Structure 1
Amino acid sequence: MKSHIGTFLSIGSPAMSELAAECGFDWVLIDLEHGCESEAALPNQLRALRGSQTLGIVRVSAPHPDLISRVLDWGADGIMVPHVDTVAQAEHCVRSATYPPKGHRGVSRTVRAYGYGMRIPAGELPKPIILAQIETAEGVSNADQIAAVEGIDALFIGPADLSYDLKARQSPRSYDDCVNAVAKAARDHGKGCGILVRHADDKEKLKAMGFNWLAMDSDLSLVREGFKRNIELARTWC
C-alpha cells in the first residue's frame, strides 16, 4: 500500500494548514478532539489546502452524526474518529458519513463541499476517508472485526491513550503486542493502518509491519520545540 505521511494540526491556524501543504505532507489531521481547534476555525483551514495535493482529515471530538456531517459538508476529505472500541461504533461512524441507502448523512448541495450548489450532485462525490482510532484494550480485542467493517479505510492507533488504558486497567497485554495485533487485523482485511510516530527511529519497523498512515509531530509541538531551542540558545548569549 502507498504510504501517507501526515502531521497533526491543533493550533487552529489556516497558515499552518497552508504551510504543511507547501512542505509536501500527504495529509494533515485537523484535531477537534484536543488542542485549540474549533469548528469555527475549521472551514478556513480546509480552504487553505485548496489547490494542493494535501488531504484534509478532521478528527471529530466524538462520533456525533451531526458533527461528522458538518465536517464533511465543509469539505474535509475524511474523518478520524477517536475511541472506536466495537463493531457497532465503527458501523455507526460509517453510516454517519454515508448517504442513503447505506447511511443516514443528510444531503445539502448548498454547502462548501459542493461549491455552494455550483458543483456535482452529492451522490457523485468521492467517498470520504474514514480512519477508526484504536485506543483501548477493548478496541484492540475487536480490531479484527472493526477492520472488516465496510467503509472503514484504516485503523489508526492512538499511542498515548492506548498506553494509558493498558496501564489503568492493568491489562496483561503489552503495548507492542497490541500494536502488532492491530497491524495484523488491518493487513488481514486489506485495510490501511496508521499511528502517530513517537520516535523517528521506529519508522522502518512500522513500515515493515504495514503501517502506511504515518503522522509526524504536530504544529504545536514543532513550534514549542523551536521556541525552547531558540530561548535556550539565546540564554547562552546573556
Structure 2
Amino acid sequence: MRMTTLKQVLTADTLAYGVWSGLDDPIAAEITGRSGFDFVVVDLQHGFASMASAPAIMNALEHTPSAPVIRVPWNTPDLLMRALDLGAEGVIVPMVSTAAEARQAVTACRYAPAGNRSWGPLWTTARRHLVDVAEGDEKATCIAMIETAEGYANIDEIVRVEGLTAVYVGPNDLALSMGFGRVRFPESPDLQNVIERIVDVAHAGGIAVGVDCNGTPEIGHWRDYGVDFVISHTDTTLLVESSEAAARAARG
C-alpha cells in the first residue's frame, strides 16, 4: 500500500516529478513506475493505450511506488469515472477552457451529494479493500489542463472552482492557441510570461500548479519559479534515447 497519496505528493513543499506512460504495455508501465518518479500518467489522449487496455496497465502500476494517474481523452463524465474506477488516484483533464468545464470534471470525480460519480468500485472489490465514499472523494485528484487561449483568459475563475486540486500547463497547445506558433518557452518570452502568470494565479487561488517540460533542461526554470510538479519525460522517448545511446556505445 502506498503511504502517500497523489494529492499529498502534489501539494507538498517539494517539487513532484511525473512521467508519461504512452506505451500500451503493463510491463513497460511497471518498469517506469519503479524508476523513481513520484507518479506515472497513463496517456489515453495521445498514447497507444486505450480504455480497453488500461485495466492491465493500472494493475501493474498498483505494484509500484509511483502514484497512478490517467489523462483521459476528453472531459466527459464517463471517461473520468471509468479512470477512477480502474484505480487512478488522479485524472488529468485536457483542454479545460472555462470554470464550467472545470466544474464538470470535478463533479464527475465526487460521489453524491458533492458530485455525480457513480458507485462502481471494481478493483477495490477484487482486492478486498472497499473504499468508502468519503475516502474516495478525498483521494480522487482532479487536474485541469490549461492549454488554450480561452483557458488562459479564464484562469482566474478556473482556479476558484471548489474541489479542483491543480491546474497543469500544456505549453504546446497553449502556444498554438495563443498564436505563438510551435515554440517552447525558452524560445518565446511571450509564452514564458503567459505560463508564469498561470502559475501565479493558481498559487494565489490556493491550488497546485504544474508545467509540462520537454526533458530535463526545462525543469530547472520551473523548479526555481516555484511550481509544484512537472512531467518531463515519456516512456517512448526514454526508450528511444537509451536504445540509441546503447547502440552508439556498443559500436565504440
Q: TM-score, normalised by structure 1?
A: 0.89
- Post-superposition offset of 1:206: 0.6
- Post-superposition offset of 1:49: 2.0
| 1:167 counterpart residue number | 179
Aligned partner (choices 155, 167, 171) of residue 155 of structure 1: 167
| 1:185 counterpart residue number | 201
For residues 1-238 of structure 1, the aligned pairs below 5 Å read: 1-109=13-121, 111-115=122-126, 119-125=130-136, 126-167=138-179, 174-231=190-247
Aligned length: 232
Unpaired runs of 5+ in structure 1?
none
| 2:8 counterpart residue number | none
SS of the residue aligned with 1:80? strand
Structure 2 distance, partners of 1:113, 1:195, is 31
Structure 2 distance, partners of 1:225, 1:116, is 37
Structure 2 distance, partners of 1:130, 1:188, is 18
- Post-superposition offset of 1:201: 3.1
Structure 1 distance, partners of 2:211, 2:109, is 22
Deviations 1:206-236 (A, max 9, x none): 12322111112100111122333445566x6
Structure 2 distance, partners of 1:139, 1:52, is 34
Structure 1 distance, partners of 2:112, 2:148, is 31
Where does structure 1 differ by over 3 angstroms across 4 or more consecutive aligned residues? 113-118, 227-234
SS of the residue aligned with 2:202? helix
- Post-superposition offset of 1:13: 1.4
Counterpart residue identity of residue 107, structure 1: W
SS of the residue aligned with 1:25? coil
Aligned CA distance change for structure 1 residues 117 and 107 (closer, same or farther; 3 Å): farther
RMSD of aligned Cα (Å): 2.1
What percentage of aligned pairs have identical amino acids?
28
Q: Please, which moves more after superposition, 140-149 or 123-132?
A: 123-132
Counterpart residue identity of residue 17, structure 1: A
Structure 1 distance, partners of 2:226, 2:126, is 37
Q: TM-score, normalised by structure 2?
A: 0.84
Counterpart residue identity of residue 2, structure 1: T
The answer to whether the 8 A contact 1:114-1:122 is kept is no
The answer to whether the 8 A contact 1:193-1:210 is kept is no
Deviations 1:79-99 (A, max 9, x none): 000000100000000011111
- Post-superposition offset of 1:46: 1.3
Aligned CA distance change for structure 1 residues 20 and 199 (closer, same or farther; 3 Å): closer
Structure 2 distance, partners of 1:79, 1:199, is 22
Structure 2 distance, partners of 1:81, 1:119, is 26
Unpaired runs of 5+ in structure 2?
1-12, 182-188
Structure 1 distance, partners of 2:174, 2:219, is 19
